Amino acid sequence: MKSALLLSLSAFALAAPTKEAASGSKIAFSRARHQHKPRADGTVDLDRFLGTLKYTALKYNKDFPLPDVLQEASLVLKRDTDAEDPLTDQVEGDEDELYYGPGYIGAAKQLFTFDFDTGSSDTFVPGPQCGAAQGCPHTQKYNQQGTDEHNTTSITYGSGSVSGENYFDTLTVAGLTAQKQNIVSLTQAAGFNDSNADGLLGLAFQSIAASKSTPYFFNLVNQGTVNPTEFSFYLGRQKSGTAQNSELTLGGRDEAKYTGAFTNVPVTSQNYWQVAIGGAKVGSGLNLPTLPTTAGQAAIDTGTTLIIAPTIAAASIFAQIPGSIPLPLGVGVPLMTLFAYPCASKPNVSLVFAGKNFAVNNLDFNFGTLNEGLGLGLANNTIAGQLANGYCLAGIAGADLDPTQNLWVVGDTFLKNWYSTYHYTSPTSAYVAFAKAV
């Protein structure tokens, strides 16, 4: 029997795999603020952007040496049984930042809003001991009526951290219930900025779970609750008027949210949803060469706003964009590099997966206009002068988060263009599939 679960964020929802999933429940969410919104004048809110960047870097490498400009930044977090549940797009102005939706914990069916994250594997919500002073400003607190495991989980992100007590309880998303799901009942969430989601629901593999417990989706698989054994994301775009259509589908794909055939990309390492990336291309035309030094591995991450490429790959991309300016964060050899480019230009950037090109829309590549303040903050008067002349911040940054495998982190800058399905059959059969989002 198929049941549809659709999570709708004022821009994000769980989507049905086929039209028959329309019988499933749909939960709509109101719009909320996003994390890197531009200011009223259209310029980048750099503090919030840097907070997002810091969180992503430390999410993938807890020991990543942060440049000084990121040290003090507040951390920002950015279903056949067919299950659909609408997700909300945390959005303000014309920008999209965080997609979140509802879930229910325990016999009391406590409602929490979650950031659904393919780049992590734990589930945590505020516990009764975690108030505003401990980093949990939301009023909804877990009642701890599940089974106390009498141990704790802690995750450190540089100067920030989350920690809490482990409980087993039921977790229901869009009508699909995982039994004996590990829930981290937070006692603190230090160093994080505000988010409209109550907690995080990780959808990656158990190998990276700080709690060492089975993630929600894999509990559904093991308990025979979801079929087919996959989930899918459609991330809408505020600028295109599709934010309210965002979806997460458990147990299939929503045919109304994509067009054309899927390209399956095998998972190469079962930690993140990690696949091989063939590289990047810049320009238009049918026979563009793949840029040198851009191939590697890519973590497909719905919980990350932008794209982070290895340093040398990012440099190769922006060398093909006339007028672009590297913005190194750090002294000497930069630990991380942002990039600015002339706002009047519209670069054609594509990523290559399984030998096929996947374009990034300029609406997503452009993170907003910059001003000379960034250059002055970097103690670089030359850059400050250049940025005063119509430059925008690019949605691709450079950082060597894992130099051993040239790791990319491919977030919403890419995923708003491509409907993505995450399929798992067995430890030797898993893939991510992309089709053109409508």
**DSSP E strands, 271-426:** 273-277, 279-282, 296-300, 307-309, 325-329, 336-342, 349-353, 356-360, 366-369, 391-394, 396-399, 407-410, 418-426
* DSSP-assigned states of every residue in 31-43: -B--SS---TTSB
Task: List the structure tokens of 392.
Answer: 């925008």
Question: Which of 45, 82, 96, 301 is flagged as catalytic?
Answer: 301
Question: Which of 80, 115, 117, 198 is flagged as catalytic?
Answer: 117
The secondary structure element, H or E, covering residue 188 is: strand 176-190
The two counts, helices (H) then strands (E), for the chain are 8, 28
- CA 63, distance to chain mean position in Å, is 20
Q: Dihedrals φ, ψ of 76, to 5°?
A: -125, 120
**If you ran DSSP here, which 8-state letter would residue 328 be given?**
E
* DSSP-assigned states of every residue in 264-279: EEEEEEETTEEEEE-E
- State the number of CA atoms in the 13 A half-sphere of 210 facing the CB: 25
State how far the alpha carbon of 318 is from the alpha carbons of 44, 292, 293, 397, 400, in Å. 20, 12, 13, 10, 16
State how far the alpha carbon of 315 is from the alpha carbons of 91, 204, 256, 309, in Å. 30, 29, 37, 9
Three-state SS for 45? coil
Sign of CA dihedral 130, 92, 323, 381: negative
The yes-or-no answer on residue 412 being catalytic is no
CA–CA dist 73, 191 (Å, integer): 9
Sequence-distant (≥ 6) Cβ neighbours of residue 51 within 8 angstroms = 35, 73, 74, 75, 76, 193
The yes-or-no answer on residue 117 being catalytic is yes
Q: Could you give the angle at the alpha carbon of 206 between the alpha carbons of 203 and 211, nearest 5°? A: 100
What is the set of active-site residues?
117, 301
